[in-house]
Amino acid sequence: MAAITVARKPLTFAERTYLPQILGGLRTTLRHLVRRKQTLEYPEERPAIPPGYRGVPTLVRDPHGREKCVSCQLCEFVCPPKAIRITPGAVPADSGRDHIEKAPQAFTIDMLRCIYCGFCQEVCPEEAIFLQNQFSLSGYSRAELVHDKARLYELGGTLPDAHYKWDRKLAAATAPGRAH
């Protein structure tokens, strides 16, 4: 089979001098010079966060300050990069949480591995893990970006409980006439 030769049209004088390309670049530069300011003075000015933004995963407490996580480990199993590690532990008998089988002894999220997919929030049956609107996460070492349980609760804080699951469970567990 013979090679196919493609005939090219000859360049014009303007194309040979590169003037159209240079003028096009200068036009782009001039447009940027007269355009209004695009830079934000970060961290004083922050960009608007769009609705549905998936930010940093954190643990939250219920309105009474109780730990919501029951160490079911669903978030750990569903996490694609395996950034979540949970060590289940026993619930102290005198904690007033008799309706819970276990609580996390240790809960860590490696933010260097997290891909902010939101699967952990979607799968959590107790609404204990939420993605916050925080988009700037930094640290001086890798160890600072592995958040333990205390840091996750510090970032998450307390969220209003839309379903009051804990109050219903606690009321059912302490109802009169129920055998313990």
Provide the residue ranges of all domains of the chain, joining segments of one domain with +: 57-161
Do residues 91 and 173 make contact, with C-beta atoms less than 8 angstroms apart?
Answer: no
Per-residue confidence (pLDDT) for residue 30, from 0 to 100: 94
Q: Is the pTM of this model over 0.85?
A: no
Q: Which of 103, 98, 99 is nearest to 59 (CA)?
A: 103
CA distance 81 to 76: 10
DSSP helix/strand/coil, 169: helix
What is the per-residue pLDDT across 119-136, written as a single tens digit (0 to 9) for each?
A: 999 999 988 999 988 777
* Range 57-161 classified under CATH 3.30.70.3270: yes
Residue 179 has pLDDT above 80, yes or no: no
User: According to the model, what pLDDT value does residue 72 have?
Assistant: 92
The stretch 5-18 carries a mean pLDDT of: 88
